[in-house]
Structure 1
């Protein structure tokens, strides 16, 4: 077990890589006059899946590589992670996401001026629904994150080769994106949404509009509650199986 400081560094670096590559592919597809402009949803979902996989590989030797407050909270709720580390982990994750957003703003600097649609610009930072319907949007984030946690816990019940888990984690995120992500943009991670959204609100981004804080509670509470419920449900299943 690594020290707490090393684990926190792992969460910071891992979330930085996650957002740099994940939102990086969104920037490439959405911003104007990039070589990937209009490459489409398949590219974004595949890019995000690979981003998760690489981020877990990069940080997994330093700690549990949650990289997601919903994962951290779910693991604490099921008794596999210390409650005392929940807030420090979430802070590290948020800071990693915010720094990655700053780097992406600099990386794509000339393309913000070429992109005139404020909603498209916001979409390169945080999520937004295809159709604004709060109950449906919340349900989507809840179910997507619950499935993510169930899959992560299920991986631990299987005999996997060393180093295989990050690939599978990237795979489940890709599957969620393809099957369940098209309605809300599948935040399934409050740090992934809120860290970049904060940076969108404070950076002097050319042509940006509002940061959508009236919607932001959904990619916060939906994943947190969905993750805890998914974790507790799977924990109950494991206990049931063990006693039968």
Structure 2
């Protein structure tokens, strides 16, 4: 596999993954969106279809679309370590591009949402009134770009990301035990369904990043894009959806080497 195959496959595949995955989050979150308040099922299936689409598009590179997957495959010996930086760099750039495309696609909805006085104002507890001049609460649309915990507990949040990613990467590594599955289109479909399953089963605590590029690339774009009243990018939490998936991938690769 050439370097150009890796770069174009991972760049475009990850960009489409984030475009469709971030797009469903925007559709469910933003005012004046036809899908507003569609709920968690819409988000989990939307991300599953995003994985499916991005993976087929990125097939020429192996369609990792995820630094954790790349790390797991490298530890298992299926990917050369010398190719790992190119894979991860391409995935990060693709994720940033995809997040930018979500902003463009929902530009009017972002503007309507972030300039709504009911959403960007804070309550003055002393007077019991809405203060129109108050600083907006942090991150009113950050969830469109990146993940965050429902209960902020470093150990639990990190462990949740480790477990979810380990399940994903272990499935990918063990697909080779079923003859022809890893190299067929059916294998790509199965990975997408596993992502849906992880979202439904384990996504509640942290939003299931299970992919450092999926979280960090769009978080950087949230910080850079000219979004009015956007609040903070929650950099204090940002290391968890990076470290957790990488640890989970390494754990999955170790289990695969020992058990299979």
Same fold by TM-score greater than 0.5: yes
Aligned to 1:151: 171
Equivalent of residue 123 in structure 1, options 143, 160, 174: 143
Which residue of 2 is the match for residue 135 of structure 1? 155
* TM superposition score normalised by structure 2: 0.88
Deviation at 1:102, TM superposition (A): 0.9
Residue of structure 2 in register with 1:77 after alignment: 75
Counterpart of 1:220? 242
Give the 5 Å matches for 1:169-180: 169-180=191-202
Deviates more, 1:153-162 or 1:190-199: 153-162
Partner of 2:259 in structure 1?
237
Structure 1: distance between partners of 2:197 and 2:258: 24
What displacement does 1:114 show?
2.3
Distance of 1:47 and 1:210 partners within structure 2: 26
| Deviation string, structure 1 residues 179-238 (Cα, Å, up to 9, x no partner) | 001110000000000000000001111220000000001001000011111111112111
In the alignment, which residue of structure 2 is the partner of 1:103?
101
Whether contact under 8 Å (1:54, 1:166) holds in the other structure is no
Provide the C-alpha distance between the structure 1 equivalents of 2:64 and 2:100, rounded to a whole number of angstroms.
Answer: 22
Q: Quick one: distance in 2 between partners of 1:195 and 1:4?
A: 21
Q: Secondary structure at the match of 1:119?
A: coil
Superposition CA RMSD, Å: 1.1
* Structure (1 or 2) with the larger CA radius of gyration: 2
Q: C-alpha separation between the residues in 2 aligned to 1:56 and 1:156?
A: 17
- Secondary structure of 1:38's match? coil
Unaligned segments of structure 2, at least 5 residues: 114-118, 121-137
Contact 2:140 2:231 in 1 (8 A): no
Give the secondary structure class of the aligned counterpart of 1:84.
Answer: helix
Q: 1: distance between equivalents of 2:170 and 2:5?
A: 27
Is this contact kept in 2: 1:76–1:83, CA < 8 A? yes
Match of 1:20 in 2: 19
State whether structure 2 residue 111 is matched by structure 1 residue 113: yes
Does structure 1 retain, via aligned residues, the 8 Å contact 2:19–2:101? yes
Give the deviation of 1:155 after TM superposition.
1.4
In the alignment, which residue of structure 2 is the partner of 1:39?
38
The corresponding residue for 1:242 is none
Q: Any stretches of 5+ residues in structure 1 without a counterpart?
A: 239-244
The number of residue pairs the alignment matches comes to: 236
Task: State yes or no: 1:91 paired with 2:89.
Answer: yes
